[in-house]
Amino acid sequence: MADCPALFISAPASGQGKTTITAALARHHRRQGRRVRVFKTGPDFLDPMILERASGAPVLSLDLWMVGESACRDLLAQAAAQADLILIEGVMGLFDGTPSSADLAAAFGVPVVAVISAKAMAQTFGAVAFGLAHYRAGVPVHGVFANRVGTSRHARMLEESLPAGLTWMGSIASTAEIELPDRHLGLLQAMEIADLDRRLDEAADVLAPTPLAALPPVVRFLPSSKLSSKPSSGPSQPAGARPRLLDGAHIAVARDAAFSFIYPANLALLDALGARVSFFSPLADEAMPEHATALYLPGGYPELHAATLARHTRTADSIRAHAAAGKPVIAECGGMLYLLESLTATDGTTTPMLGLLPGHVRMQTRLAALSMQQLDGPLGTLTGHTFHYSHVSTPLTPVLHATRAQSDVAGEAVYRAGPIVATYMHSYWPSNPAFTAALFYGNAF
């Protein structure tokens, strides 16, 4: 077991500034010489990039369904044994989703601070704060923080609106200097924000004088082995050494601004299973690493770089040669789009892709899918999620469909063409290491 100061940063809704505040806190405490570990609630690739830059450490996912309660407990206990502060950024609003941020905070007793955007709001701030604090018993709301405040008088009005029993954690003004830019899937990637470190430092400076910047209460985090009699929800991720199911495997991973939606926990699992992992950049026209036994094409933004990808024949030729040799290719979401015959952008421009999968993709401005999903195969269940703004047309018949966590409606299709396995679903590999190893050996289905 380990004791560590910890804080859960949530909000009444998306767009309140949770990531900005969490990143500012992480940068502030890191500059004080503290070891900060940040976690992100739910399936997210973009916020963790910002939070990793702010904290200086990889940002792992916590989700009672996708990761599993026991695995979340172990990840927190491991972090508490190494860190001086744990920060957890919530997802959407505090009570949104099943399971929600509130469920996660309550499960592990982490005090919650509600970040509320006070722009165009006065005394209603107190009502919103009161509702968050009292909507459900057992959720440890620690205090309230006002974001995007106009003036010092505005801040006093907000503070005075709080009913007795709610702690004022301070406020910061609305300023473009610290706000994080975004696009349709969420925030811009850290690598795309040229002045990100300046923004983080300025945000930390602004936050430093507020009560929120003080160390939060200490929380005791117990590993799942200490609670072995307690039933867990979701998939498990046993602690300790893993069987080296991928000994001898050499996995090539595309990683750059076009292919960046990669869970750090997925890469850590490949390493724990004994695989050698090498990275290459399709945007830099790099060939796949020599002697790779398998290829992973993660999600990302190939649509933003379609013309560049189409010009880069060195990368394309190496991937085609890999597939022609019958070596496994695992492609998720954007990685799958790269393998198709063509990609049509929202402006109607069509660009040829690799042509290793029959079919075409059309980008759209409307959200096409967003849900937690799982794959059920001979080796059990592999959890994950889907989130995309595109539609694929292909003559391929799916080898199976994912199932949704909260619905009987069929989930994403999984396609197989020779050594290629492709789907829109982003998998969380630690939920089933054996299933994951089979994917990279080409015998999962």
| Active-site amino acid positions | 333
User: Nearest 5 degrees, angle CA 81-CA 87-CA 93?
Assistant: 140
**φ/ψ (deg, to 5) at 220:** -95, 125
Q: How many CB atoms lie within 10 A of CB 90?
A: 29
- CA-to-CA distance for 99 and 217, rounded, in angstroms? 24
Phi and psi at residue 136, in whole multiples of 5°? -145, 135
Question: Rg of the chain over CA atoms, in angstroms?
Answer: 22
Strand partners, 115: 145
Identify which of 283, 336, 387, 308 has the alpha carbon closest to the alpha carbon of residue 47: 387
What the block records as the tokens of 437 is 């190893």
Pairwise CA distance, residues 406 & 221, whole Å? 29
Cα distance between residue 20 and residue 200, in whole Å? 8
Q: Are 196 and 19 in contact (CB under 8 A)?
A: no
